[in-house]
């Protein structure tokens, strides 16, 4: 349970090897934090990053979690609660980027990406929400993307999955707000990370640590959405209303 200052004692990261997710977890850790659980598909990689989070006062568990295994999400959450008690903060940071050309040539690959990015978010998000309703509190941080605000032809499968994730998270937040729980939708632009290594940075690019700092600031302010950097909110406010004929011609990659 959160302490009197709203600091999380139990933090869960779904997508335990995510650079952005780990940065958010580190920023959330306070003197009140006792346990961090890294939900990872690869336990070996999780064990390595766990060492960067653990301390004399914070215990880190590495537990198998597969975003594509929707049937396993409720048991995962139930096991966490049975072992550590209330879910104070959950960070949803799993996802795959993929290549549009691969999706075009193999629809199964595209479906797998959408299953991870969107379907897995729905099943795990609802499992988290079920527990939040039981305990009457909790914060869920959902790492979305500006790619879902106006989908580009260059990555429309990925963008559509993020659009679905974003809409789901907004709706979930609206249902939980009257019950004392908070959902924060984080919309970063291009983030320098292992996932984007080798890609040409887009304008207004940022880093995992900046995303983390803005996320924690937004949580403390009780916000439901945060753009990183904030300038992108206004940029996409314009993009969202451009005629499609104009949008198609923009040199956005």
Strand order across the beta sheet in which 89-92 lies: 59-64, 35-40, 10-14, 89-92, 139-143, 182-188, 225-228
Closest CA to 193 of 24, 40, 65, 19: 19
Q: Which residues contact 163 (CB under 8 A, 6 or more apart)?
A: 148, 149, 151
Of the residues 94, 118, 158, 168, only one is catalytic, namely: 158
Element (H, E) at 90: strand 89-92
Active site residue 158: yes
Helix, coil or strand: residue 119: helix
- Report residue 146 as tokens: 């500006």
Enzyme catalytic residues: 158
């Amino acid at each position: 349970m959160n302490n009197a200052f709203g600091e999380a004692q139990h933090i869960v990261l779904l997508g335990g090897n995510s650079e952005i997710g780990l940065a958010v977890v580190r920023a959330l850790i306070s003197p009140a934090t006792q346990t961090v659980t890294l939900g990872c598909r690869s336990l070996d990689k999780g064990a390595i990053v766990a060492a960067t989070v653990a301390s004399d006062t914070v215990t880190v568990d590495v537990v198998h979690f597969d975003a594509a295994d929707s049937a396993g999400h409720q048991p995962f959450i139930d096991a966490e609660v049975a072992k550590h008690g209330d879910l104070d903060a959950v960070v949803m940071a799993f996802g795959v980027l993929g290549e549009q050309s691969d999706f075009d040539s193999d629809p199964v690959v595209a479906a797998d990406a959408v299953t991870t990015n969107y379907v897995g978010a729905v099943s795990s998000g609802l499992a988290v929400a079920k527990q939040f309703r039981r305990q009457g509190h909790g914060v869920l941080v959902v790492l979305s993307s500006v790619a879902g605000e106006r989908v580009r032809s260059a990555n429309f499968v990925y963008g559509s999955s993020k659009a679905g994730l974003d809409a789901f998270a907004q709706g979930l937040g609206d249902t939980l707000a009257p019950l004392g729980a908070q959902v924060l939708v984080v919309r970063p632009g291009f983030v320098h990370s292992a996932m984007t290594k080798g890609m040409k940075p887009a304008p207004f690019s940022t880093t995992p640590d900046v995303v983390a700092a803005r996320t924690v600031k937004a949580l403390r302010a009780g916000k439901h959405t945060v753009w990183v950097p904030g300038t992108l909110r206004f940029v996409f406010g314009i993009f969202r209303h451009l005629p499609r004929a104009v949008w198609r011609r923009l040199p956005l990659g």
